[in-house]
Amino acid sequence: MKDTELYKLQGEKKVYIKTLKEYTKDQLTAIYNNLKQQLITLFGNQYEQSDSGQGYPPALAFHKDGLVIALSYDADGLAVTVTSEQ
């Protein structure tokens, strides 16, 4: 990812931030797993899961008190999306 991008998709905002460091797939997987464990600690072990089918970890969606926090990791990178339920 070369530039910072901001775009809107069906009412949710996703922000991609350029970092000063390139991360390996193993590092991104470790970050994904760490974030997953932290979200489970905060929201409980109940979440929706969808398989990427591309060799990446599944996308996860945690719901609580009108918020949805989604965690996904694919060829585009690692993303955390926060939206409100409607």
- Reported as a single tens digit per residue, the pLDDT across 16-49 is 555 557 888 898 899 999 999 999 998 889 899 9
The whole-angstrom separation of Cα 8 and Cα 23 is 25
CB 35 within 8 A of CB 28: no
On whether the 25-84 domain is CATH 3.30.200, my answer is yes
Number of H helices, E strands in the chain: 1, 6
- pLDDT at 13 exceeding the cut of 70: no
Task: Identify which of 4, 23, 22 has the alpha carbon closest to the alpha carbon of residue 14.
Answer: 4
Can you read off the two tokens belonging to residue 30?
Answer: 């470790």
CB 59 within 8 A of CB 72: yes
| More reliable by pLDDT, 14 or 67 | 67
What pLDDT is recorded for position 20?
59
What pLDDT is recorded for position 74?
85
CB count within 10 Å of CB 39 equals 20
